[in-house]
Structure 1
């Protein structure tokens, strides 16, 4: 297993003890120049016996910052890596895979983060875990807190996706909505400072990323992809990116495998973003992350921040990666095409990688025969209230002939089409 042996800055490398207060401002040495998150310093003790047989990401507990006996698990990880030839052909690719994270217990990739974060929180004696979340992170943390017997506080904002708020409330978490989005950070900060809450999300500006222990859970994405590809490595991994927690963890995972000589090369990463913060940062040579003007209200609300983080920038730079800004145009239709062609109903943010791949194919940056993995981070049920906004209400038919006439007009279907072959 890997014990929590302290933290190091992802930018300057300064090291800090494991009992440092994680106050969401990141490395004390970098705050005034370029705020940067911390990462866990790994100290391998010994492999946990029999962990490879565990039906969760804790099968990789030798690479996680918590002994497996403290693990809080709902069976997260081990999500399918599905070949997607139909949608791949539409994008101009002959080899596309979808890593379908909607198969996690709360239907999003955040369960990888929450399982590890809540496990460490409980191990350290925390009684209350808290997050500032618009949906997926809150739903996930609430479920794992419930499993661990901890109290969960989710600070959110008016207008967050209804299905996700319902999911959070059903677990018994306390939901605190604010009219002003930034008030939720002040609320979490007071909880941490005055009451000792274990906060898993950012709650300071500028954001550096989420709690480092939770980010360790995203390393397992890389482990699974390589294992599911028979030890091979994709040429590209494309995923939705806001503050870059999953991106940073994914890259740590691949780097770890490379350093252990378990893989012979590293993939290039692509961040599908909304407002272009990482695109602008990559165009420069410095470490600053620009705060962009929001030109539109994104349908992909979970990645809608106007400013990303240094941890995301460094992962892209080290992987010779790219960032691609994605608008709302065609996003719902792309979601529908993925569902129609491959049977995968993904959250709107989760189809932004496909939009990014389409753009990079048009520019011939990604070649037609490159091996590409798109990470679909969450289920389409998460924001169905947004994705169905373009649909007309379904009609109700009052007779069988009326129904046949209607669907015949719509899809040229006849009764014979339903006869057994």
Structure 2
């Protein structure tokens, strides 16, 4: 199996050579729709098993958009555990519930999969500078992998992002600047791509289309690993969703497995989101540039009011569900206390919508369900701390401890 060097639009099917890979599909652009094209593969004779001699996600390099001889840019990403959530499953009446814990990646989020592939491709193509518009996880991953590859990295972030995110991006050596409004980041990034030859590791269009299309295929490896761990495809996989990169990549991974005869069907994908653009698109059809009302959210890293076509297409046969800030934070603390897993607020969204999906019948009691936990709660401890009481200071006696605990310790 080889990557063919061809990109195909997920909306209209138009194909083109990958000589200008980061531009949106031209026919769709003429229709007023921003759509990413994706890599086309020849799957004849392909095997989906990983090569243990290659590091990280590059164990699946034969299923990634890279030449066979391209050197991996790996920090050991991927291979994350699929953890059973026994107590949560029992509380909700589910037979089999798991969490794919992507907080175990090198920069503590699943963005490492996307960036590892995108940076390896940038090196293959002779790039010197990569750039990203990010509220944190994407930028931290980009900075780390660019540093490992010896590339210059420019991160365009927002003034409002948590200090931890900014410190991570700067510590990995990126040139980090903040802007006040999200669309301003895309404007600057688009100019850098057009005039300076920067390789974009994220999207840069408004309305958004999605990220670096080569990098999106890094998320295919999540599907491969889930099937590797379970020995089969799950019935349902719930994913935190913003611009749909994870949804698109994971679906593409399962489509590979269907084409290779490994699994019979793509599982039902569910978008977990704060404001509901995917729920709206599934109910009313995809409307280019349709923005829903939105405001601040604890799930700031996926707080988009607009859907992408790639995310909408990935949800074919699936669903979408929303959760409020209070529901998200309750789910974050429940996962931590019931299962010993502390996720970033945006990553707790799949757990926050799970009960609603069960109540609606979208998830049946006997389904095998996987939640995607995309990032660690350590990226934004402030939002959790605001929901917790102050830690009491006591005298060094058991009586003082008992006074706080309300019972004998």
Q: Tell me if both proteins adopt one fold, taking TM over 0.5 as the criterion.
A: yes
- Inter-partner Cα distance in structure 2 for 1:207 and 1:336: 32
Q: Hey, what does 2:384 align to over in structure 1?
A: 387
Residue from 351, 354, 357 that aligns with 1:357: 354
Once the two structures are TM-superposed, the CA of residue 131 in structure 1 deviates from its matched residue by: 0.3
Match of 1:5, SS state, is strand
Once the two structures are TM-superposed, the CA of residue 69 in structure 1 deviates from its matched residue by: 4.1
User: Deviations for 1:71-114, whole angstroms, at most 9, x for unmatched residues?
Assistant: 10000001000111101122331210000000100000000000
Conserved in 1, the CA contact under 8 Å of 2:43 and 2:260?
no
- Inter-partner Cα distance in structure 2 for 1:215 and 1:206: 18
Question: Residues 45, 163 of structure 1: CA spacing in aligned structure 2 closer, same or farther, 3 A cutoff?
Answer: farther
Match of 2:214, SS state, is helix
**Structure 1: any 5+ residue segments left out of the alignment?**
415-421
- Inter-partner Cα distance in structure 2 for 1:355 and 1:164: 23
Conserved in 1, the CA contact under 8 Å of 2:71 and 2:120?
yes
Match of 2:26, SS state, is coil
- Inter-partner Cα distance in structure 2 for 1:124 and 1:161: 34
Once the two structures are TM-superposed, the CA of residue 352 in structure 1 deviates from its matched residue by: 0.6
Residue from 360, 363, 375 that aligns with 1:366: 363
Conserved in 2, the CA contact under 8 Å of 1:4 and 1:18?
no
Q: Hey, what does 1:418 align to over in structure 2?
A: none
Match of 1:51, SS state, is coil
- Inter-partner Cα distance in structure 2 for 1:395 and 1:402: 14
Please identify, of 50-59 and 341-350, the stretch whose mean Cα deviation from structure 2 is larger.
50-59
Conserved in 2, the CA contact under 8 Å of 1:407 and 1:413?
no
Correspondence 1:179 to 2:180: yes
Question: Residues 313, 207 of structure 1: CA spacing in aligned structure 2 closer, same or farther, 3 A cutoff?
Answer: same
Q: Hey, what does 1:419 align to over in structure 2?
A: none
Once the two structures are TM-superposed, the CA of residue 6 in structure 1 deviates from its matched residue by: 2.1
Residue from 326, 330, 349 that aligns with 2:327: 330
What RMSD, in angstroms, separates the aligned Cα atoms of the two structures? 1.9
Conserved in 2, the CA contact under 8 Å of 1:289 and 1:310?
no
- Inter-partner Cα distance in structure 2 for 1:68 and 1:154: 29
**Structure 2: any 5+ residue segments left out of the alignment?**
none
User: Deviations for 1:209-231, whole angstroms, at most 9, x for unmatched residues?
Assistant: 0110000100000000001002x
Conserved in 2, the CA contact under 8 Å of 1:218 and 1:246?
yes
Question: Residues 2, 301 of structure 1: CA spacing in aligned structure 2 closer, same or farther, 3 A cutoff?
Answer: farther
- Normalised TM-score (structure 2): 0.94
- Inter-partner Cα distance in structure 1 for 2:86 and 2:124: 44
- Inter-partner Cα distance in structure 1 for 2:173 and 2:285: 47
Conserved in 2, the CA contact under 8 Å of 1:300 and 1:348?
yes
Q: Hey, what does 1:268 align to over in structure 2?
A: 268
Q: Hey, what does 1:56 align to over in structure 2?
A: 56
- Inter-partner Cα distance in structure 2 for 1:251 and 1:394: 44
Q: Hey, what does 1:208 align to over in structure 2?
A: 209
Question: Residues 335, 228 of structure 1: CA spacing in aligned structure 2 closer, same or farther, 3 A cutoff?
Answer: same
Q: Hey, what does 1:340 align to over in structure 2?
A: 337
Once the two structures are TM-superposed, the CA of residue 180 in structure 1 deviates from its matched residue by: 2.6
- Inter-partner Cα distance in structure 1 for 2:378 and 2:286: 40
- Inter-partner Cα distance in structure 1 for 2:111 and 2:82: 17
Match of 1:107, SS state, is coil
- Inter-partner Cα distance in structure 2 for 1:241 and 1:73: 25
Residue from 21, 27, 30 that aligns with 1:32: 30
Superposition map of 1:288-299 within 5 A: 288=288, 290-294=290-294, 296-299=295-298
User: Deviations for 1:165-198, whole angstroms, at most 9, x for unmatched residues?
Assistant: 1111111111110123222112111211221111
Match of 2:88, SS state, is helix
Question: Residues 4, 212 of structure 1: CA spacing in aligned structure 2 closer, same or farther, 3 A cutoff?
Answer: farther
Once the two structures are TM-superposed, the CA of residue 351 in structure 1 deviates from its matched residue by: 1.1
Please identify, of 392-401 and 301-310, the stretch whose mean Cα deviation from structure 2 is larger.
392-401
- Inter-partner Cα distance in structure 1 for 2:50 and 2:142: 27
